[in-house]
Amino acid sequence: MSSETVAPLARETRPQAEPPLIALEGVEKTYRMGRVDYRALRGIDLEIAAGEMVAVVGPSGSGKSTILNLITGIDQPTAGTVTVDGRRLDELSEEELAVWRGANVGIVFQFFQLLPTLSALENAVLPLDFARWRSKRERFERARRNLELVGLGDKADHLPAELSGGEQQRVAIARALASDPKLIVGDEPTGNLDTVTAAEMFELLRRLNAEGKTVLFVTHDRDLAARAQRVATIRDGLVVPG
């Protein structure tokens, strides 16, 4: 037998799986309504990877919007943990959540929520003003670029009343992009639009997703939801098979 030392076999190394961008573990949410407790969420486990586009569906009152409120730090869980991009939101104060939300999440609402006396550009720059991001000139430059990104570069000086519903929602998306967030969250973002305009809005969200944004949206439109990469179905405060 040879006296040469046999080198040990090298162990195969496998790349570590990326942690999810969003992780809800055992999440419960109970609201106090007078003398009655209402359990909106009953133990949610949900993971969403960075770069996914996920639709959240379910009947009214199932807990869909509550999940969005927890992921965006608008609300806090009664039990369980909510982790977004490595940050435990359930451990943050209201002030810390407000700062975190402004820097990390873009929210698009069903009814646009634009300030009627401000132009499209002024609405798009608001989050940057609140955050006191860099100089005023740089804020307006970024807001103008975001308006161009959503196809409204020529409507920057228009008031919301001078824009169509679809154009107003595009302004709302430009506003959501202000801090260049990893996560875009939509609460029925196409619910106040006609079918054609809703399809255009979805294509815009899909383009943002293709460029690397994680997109999470609640919808009652099953056809629209089916076009997302994944559908999470909520019923009676729980994630159920679709």
Query: pLDDT tens for residues 91-106?
Result: 999 999 999 999 999 9
| pLDDT at residue 15, as a whole number | 52
Q: How confident is the model at residue 78 (pLDDT cuts 50, 70, 90)?
A: very high
DSSP 43: E
| pLDDT at residue 16, as a whole number | 59
Q: Do the bridges between strand 22-33 and strand 230-235 make them parallel or antiparallel, or are there none, so unpaired?
A: unpaired
3-state secondary structure of 106: strand
Query: What is the maximum span of the chain, computed from C-alpha positions, in angstroms?
Result: 90
Q: Do the bridges between strand 183-187 and strand 22-33 make them parallel or antiparallel, or are there none, so unpaired?
A: unpaired
Q: How confident is the model at residue 130 (pLDDT cuts 50, 70, 90)?
A: confident
Q: How confident is the model at residue 12 (pLDDT cuts 50, 70, 90)?
A: very low
Apex 16 CA angle, 28 and 83, nearest 5:
20
Q: Pick from 24, 181, 204: which is nearest to 105 by CA? A: 181
pLDDT surpasses 90 at 127:
yes
Q: Do the bridges between strand 214-218 and strand 53-57 make them parallel or antiparallel, or are there none, so unpaired?
A: parallel
pTM of model > 0.85: yes
- What is the spatial distance between Cα 136 and Cα 130, in angstroms, rounded to a whole number? 11
pLDDT surpasses 70 at 11:
no
pLDDT surpasses 90 at 77:
yes
Apex 106 CA angle, 101 and 109, nearest 5:
110
DSSP 45: E
**114, 195 contact by CB (below 8 A):** no
> In what order do the strands lie in the sheet containing 53-57?
105-109, 183-187, 214-218, 53-57, 230-235, 238-240
pLDDT surpasses 80 at 5:
no
- Domains in the chain with CATH codes: 51-76+91-240 (3.40.50.300)
| pLDDT at residue 180, as a whole number | 93
**43, 26 contact by CB (below 8 A):** yes
pLDDT surpasses 50 at 7:
no
Query: pLDDT tens for residues 156-181?
Result: 999 999 999 999 999 999 999 999 99
- Which tokens belong to 15? 């790349």
